[in-house]
Amino acid sequence: MDELLSEFLTESFENLAMLDVELVRLEQNPNDPDLLSSIFRTAHTIKGTCGFLGLPRLERVAHSAENVLGRVRDGEIALTPAAVTLVLQALDRIKFILDQLEATEAEPPGDDAELIDALNRAADGDMPETQTPPPAETATAPAAVATMAAEPESDPMMEGEPALLKPSDAALEAAAAAVDEPGVVGERSGSSVAAQSLRVSVDLLEDLMTLVSELVLTRNQLLQMVRNEGESRFKGPLQRLSQITSELQEGVMKTRMQPIGNAWSKLPRLIRDLSLDLGKRIELKMLGADTELDRQVLDLIKDPLTHMVRNSADHGIETVMERKAAGKVEHGTITLNAYHEGGQIIIEIADDGKGLDVQRIGQKALEQGIVDAAELESMPPNQVMQFIFKAGFSTATTVTSVSGRGVGMDVVRTNIEKIGGHVDLSSEKGRGTKLTIKIPLTLAIVSALIVEAGAERFAIPQIGVVELVRAGQQSEHKIEIIDDAPILRLRDRLLPLVRLTTLLGLTNDAGLEHYEQAYVVVSQVGNSRVGLVVDKVFDTEEIVVKPVSPILRGVGCFSGNTILGDGSVVMILDLNSLTGSLNSASTEAGEPLDTQQQRGTESTSLLLFRASDRTPRAVPLGLVTRLEEIDLGELEESCGRAVLQYRGQLMPLTDIHGSTSLQGEGKRPALVFTDSNHNMGLVVDEIIDIANDVIDVKVASNAVGTIGSAVIAGRSTDIIDVAHFVQSVFGGWFAERESEPYRADEVPRTRRVLIVDDSSFFRNLLGPILSANGYDVVKVDRATKALELRDRGELFDAVISDIEMPEMDGFTFAKTLRQGGAWADLPVIALSSHTTEQDLQRGRDAGFTDYVGKLDREALLAAISHSLELQEALA
């Protein structure tokens, strides 16, 4: 295609996209003169460029649209929705013609008389929907428009030889620059701006990127060679070369970065049109539009994003009537929010609509045979919602032009996972739905840990690695085998382990002897952690990710491959899918468990066991310090209670019924719970398994020692209340503990603590722990409810809040508290399963006093006690 024409097309498409956005904004603020001028200018530029290239049909449509805008700008006609629709229609026509032009390099034949006529009539103030009377000075107006239209960039050339003239690039760029630079209407000063930026073809950038990648690899090889030589005269120059290469790499990476707003530019128009089509009132909020990401990533998420926003508008937001009936504000809001977090980009799409109808989704899943009734019965709502990601799934009862065709969310998820991202979904009936997408910043170069397993090397992207632990029988981090499953004790936590060689099918033998000297790569996948056992760990390297050859794509557990500094090829492990196979292997049914289903909500590592009957029981692994095998014959008795000599102490034991007088013989497993330096043992019949699952307590229990029942690994399981057992054994023990609640000397009053957590499990777990420690506890499941308590004048000494909650997350909650009100200075402690440095920083920025990992009760108690102390000291 003619270079000039192709440049014109690119530029015009950009201008049109900009117009779309600005017009919708204008409709909301019809009195913004700057906006209006900018729109007028853009329309004018399009018209002007059409004139240059001799495209009469385009020019006529553009001219009429510009006419209307000109009259609006001059205050001669009012901007009504009808007028905006008309102008938007004109833009669509222009787009259509441009599309044809792109395909055939010629203007398509066609008649725009009707549209032009409508536009002209609108310019004269003649619109059926308009209430504005035609302006008095109609006669003078066209003249004014004509002068304006002919004014700046285009006039001399246009009047000369419009069809034949090929304008210089400078002239074209000047036209483009007028768009970039607001406030230069009618002046030719735009060219200085044009000189500062230029269009480069994407292919060229891609080639550059590939070349730089090769350069990085060669540099790495050279570095390795020189390193091996010891003293070398190449050292100096090589260092310089290395540095320049790094800078070059960074520079080229930057050229590929684009603000995410580029992917959003079509959305305001989309939402506007949808609102009209669907008879809804929808406001679109876009936050963090300048967040930058790799254009390759941007391209790949553009369509999924549009789809999700469209879904929110169509399925999520209710009609005005429905909203009124539900007592909500008339207009629904869709919020897009993008931000960087830990080398990833997080994009949230939230609406305040009606939320997902779990029942209907379940029903539909049943009809489509995705699930059977019994399974559905036992599924937590969050898991049911995940069905919308299944192929061919749509709950829309009627197929609208907007959505409900049953293609979409599965494609959305596939596309996002393809680039190493993933989608989370949360929804609450009547309150809205929120989709969270996490995607890597760039696909090209990542930092990776090089490890060895089974005499082969692999790269693990650093992003999934939490820490490295050297474990062994002699090391402080001991690996133990429980029911054939290896477990690492890591700072009083138990971490399930899996050998990389086994996962990859390199060896099949298990057993303790393999863990004599092991390196454990603690990896975070979704919300669960797993320890990957490898034989050796080399250093970390910046690697250039290359996609695996098509012939290897079916293998699945690799996200790519790369060439290391020494020239050898290594495979890059895809932790998501590797752990996916881990999950499927650990499900009893052997049926591949969709890992995505687990990511929907927080999953917890659970220890499953049996005691006294066949019902499986579970306890969060984080609460169990050790697992011991005890010989009932060796038990001693103290004050009528069974005790065991254990690590120089007497450890009281109990069974599942709370009976402390244990009878019987033979060896039995016992779960050891530790609090400070006190141990207690719960004697059980059998350890079954360790499972990663979402705890969703289905049936709250009144039975002593049980929090309730949940479905774990596909079976109904009782979740035991550890606090109950600890209390039953120790009784008054908590009163003497070091981390007792802080009490100011003279004022022996009970401290009041508010727990805000949407998970009933954690509320139920923390409640007893805190009460047992002498706090008066109030629990709510929403940040908004907490704010209601505040506004009602309730007083607390400290607030403990979860981070991930529907409606209002912990960060917003903390910020809101800090903004003022009675609780502005209260200690607020964040409770989260994510405790990376970034999380901590974000927590502090939001105004949290402290940030504690979930299940880390010791830290929590210390944090409360400490904050209260501090508070008291300040008062």
Partner 1 sequence: MSAVVMDPQTRIVDNELVSVWLGKQLVGLPVAQVQDILGPQQITHVPRAAKEIAGVLNLRGRIVTAIDLRARLGMVARDSAIAGMSVVVEHKGELYSLLIDKVGEVLNAPLDRYEQDTSALSADWREVASGVFRLDAQLLVVLDVGRVLQISGITPAGQLDR
Q: Which is nearer to partner 1, 555 or 589 (CB)?
A: 555
* 3-state secondary structure string across 98-155: HHHHHHHCCCCCCCCHHHHHHHHHHHCCCCCCCCCCCCCCCCCHHHHHHHHHHCCCCH
498 binds partner 1 (CB under 8 A): yes
Contacting range for partner 1; rule: CB under 8 A; set: 129-137, 414-422, 578-586, 599-607: 578-586
Tokens 């399963």 belong to residue: 833
Q: Which CB, 459 or 817, lies closer to partner 1? A: 459
**Strand order across the beta sheet in which 456-461 lies:** 536-544, 445-453, 456-461, 569-573, 558-563
Residue 458 or 796 having the CB closest to partner 1: 458
Residue 222 near partner 1 by CB under 8 A: no
Which residue among 133, 236, 554, 731 contacts partner 1 (CB under 8 A)? 554
- Check residue 501 for interaction with partner 1 (CB under 8 A): yes
**What is the identity of the amino acid at 158?**
M
Question: CB under 8 A: which stretch of 109-117, 162-170, 505-513, 676-684 binds partner 1?
Answer: 505-513
Question: Considering the rule CB under 8 A, would residue 486 count as an interface residue with partner 1?
Answer: yes
| Amino acid identity for residue 802 in this structure | D
Q: Does 589 bind partner 1 (CB under 8 A)?
A: no
Alpha-carbon distance of 547 to 555, in angstroms, equals 13
Q: In angstroms, give the least distance from the CB of 770 to partner 1.
A: 36
Question: Applying CB under 8 A, does 581 fall inside the site for partner 1?
Answer: yes
Residues numbered 442-471 forming contacts with partner 1, rule: CB under 8 A: 454, 456-457
CA distances from 231 to 45, 225, 235 (A): 63, 11, 8
Separation of first and last alpha carbons in the chain: 75
Contact 587, 713 (CB under 8 A): yes
69 vs 90: CA distance, rounded Å: 12
Does residue 484 belong to the site contacting partner 1 (CB under 8 A)? yes
Q: Which residues pair with 686 in a beta bridge?
A: 610
Would you say 249 or 433 has its CB closer to partner 1? 249
Q: Smallest distance from the beta carbon of 608 to partner 1, in angstroms? A: 13
Q: How many residues bind partner 1 (CB under 8 A)?
A: 44
CB of 542 vs partner 1, minimal distance in Å: 16
Decide: residue 545, CB within 10 A, 0-12 exposed, 13-18 middle, 19+ buried: buried
Is the CB of 45 or the CB of 586 nearer to partner 1? 586
- Least distance (Å) between residue 29 CB and partner 1: 51
Q: Which listed residue (133, 550, 666, 793) binds partner 1 by CB under 8 A?
A: 550
Beta bridge partners of 671: 627, 682
Cα 55–chain centre separation? 46
Q: Is-contact 753 782, C-beta < 8 A?
A: no
Q: Hey, is 211 helix, strand or coil?
A: helix
Which region among 170-178, 290-298, 546-554, 618-626 touches partner 1 (by CB under 8 A)? 546-554
Distances (CA, A) of 288 to 285, 345, 787: 10, 11, 27
Closest CA to 708 of 425, 372, 362, 380: 380
Residue written as token pair 């990401």: 293
> What would the two tokens of residue 318 be?
């209710």
Dist CA 519 CA 468 (whole Å): 7
Which two three-digit tokens encode residue 133? 């009377």
Strand spans (E) along 187-331: 257-259, 282-287, 292-294
Which member of 159, 187, 214, 613 binds partner 1 (CB under 8 A)? Answer: 214
Residue 74 is a binding residue for partner 1 (CB under 8 A): no
- The rounded distance, in Å, linking the Cα atoms of 48 and 190 is 15
Report if residue 5 touches partner 1, rule: CB under 8 A: no
- Residue 652 burial class via C-beta count within 10 angstroms: exposed 0-12, middle 13-18, buried 19 and up: buried
Sole window of 96-104, 339-347, 496-504, 735-743 interacting with partner 1 (rule: CB under 8 A): 496-504
Q: Which stretch binds partner 1 (CB under 8 A): 250-258, 286-294, 558-566, 630-638?
A: 558-566
Per-residue CA distances from 733 to 91, 246, 680, 740, 774 (Å)? 76, 60, 12, 11, 12
Closest contact distance (angstroms) between CB of 563 and partner 1 is 5
Contact between 15 and partner 1 by CB under 8 A: the answer reads no
By the rule CB under 8 A, 761 interacts with partner 1: no
Q: Judged by CB under 8 A, which of 202, 506, 699, 795 binds partner 1?
A: 506
Q: For residues 871 and 827, is the Cβ–Cβ distance under 8 A?
A: yes
Residue from 188, 235, 307, 546 that binds partner 1 (CB under 8 A)? 546
Smallest distance from partner 1 to CB 446, Å: 16
By CB neighbour count within 10 A (0-12 exposed, 13-18 middle, 19+ buried), where does 37 fall? middle
Q: Nearer Cβ to partner 1, position 487 or 656?
A: 487
- Compute the distance between CA of residue 267 and CA of residue 754 in angstroms, rounded to an integer: 41
Stretch binding partner 1 (CB under 8 A), from 187-195, 214-222, 620-628, 792-800: 214-222
User: Any bridge partners for residue 531, and if so which?
Assistant: 497, 522
Applying CB under 8 A, does 793 fall inside the site for partner 1? Answer: no
Residue 312 interacts with partner 1 (CB under 8 A): yes or no: no
Does 585 sit near partner 1 (CB under 8 A)? yes
User: Should residue 485 be labelled a site residue for partner 1 when binding is judged by CB under 8 A?
Assistant: yes
Interface residue with partner 1, options 386, 561, 764, 832 (CB under 8 A):
561
Q: Which is nearer to partner 1, 242 or 344 (CB)?
A: 242
627 makes contact with partner 1 (CB under 8 A)? no
**Stretch of residues binding partner 1 (CB under 8 A), selected from 213-221, 384-392, 832-840, 863-871:** 213-221
- The interface region with partner 1, picked from 289-297, 562-570, 611-619, 715-723 by CB under 8 A, is 562-570
Q: Does the protein bind partner 1 through residue 742 (CB under 8 A)?
A: no
Instruction: Select the residue interacting with partner 1 from 524, 586, 601, 692 (CB under 8 A).
Output: 586
Under the binding rule (CB under 8 A), the answer on residue 575 touching partner 1 is: no
Residue 223 interacts with partner 1 (CB under 8 A)?
A: no
Find the shortest distance in angstroms from Cβ 474 to partner 1: 21
Q: Are 54 and 133 in contact (CB under 8 A)?
A: no
Binding-residue pattern over the window 32 to 71 for partner 1, x denoting contact by CB under 8 A:
----------------------------------------
Q: What value does the CA radius of gyration of the chain take, rounded to a whole number of Å? A: 33
Selected binder of partner 1 within 186, 505, 664, 821 (CB under 8 A):
505
Among 19, 209, 293, 557, binds partner 1 (CB under 8 A): 557
Nearest Cα residue to 66 out of 25, 4, 97, 23: 23
Q: Which residues pair with 344 in a beta bridge?
A: 341, 440
Q: Which of 796, 539, 584, 615 is nearest to 692 (CA)?
A: 584
In the complex, least distance from residue 588 CB atom to partner 1, rounded to whole angstroms: 12
Q: Note whether 218 binds partner 1 by CB under 8 A.
A: yes
Helices (H) and strands (E) counted in the chain, each on its own, are 28, 35
Choose which of 397, 474, 508, 677 interacts with partner 1 (CB under 8 A).
Answer: 508
Which residues, listed in sequence order, are joined to residue 638 by a DSSP beta bridge?
A: 641
Q: Looking up tokens 């590929």, which residue turns up?
A: 256
Nearest distance from C-beta of residue 59 to partner 1, angstroms: 43
- Alpha carbon distance 736, 738 (integer Å): 7
Q: How far is the CB of 391 from partner 1 (least distance, A)?
A: 22
Confirm or reject binding of residue 556 to partner 1 (CB under 8 A).
yes
Q: In the range 599-618, which residues lie near partner 1 by CB under 8 A?
A: none
User: Are the C-beta atoms of 182 and 216 separated by less than 8 Å?
Assistant: no
Query: Where do contacts with partner 1 occur on this chain (CB under 8 A)?
Result: 214, 217-218, 454, 456-457, 483-486, 497-499, 501-506, 508, 510, 546, 549-552, 554-558, 561-563, 567-571, 581-582, 584-586
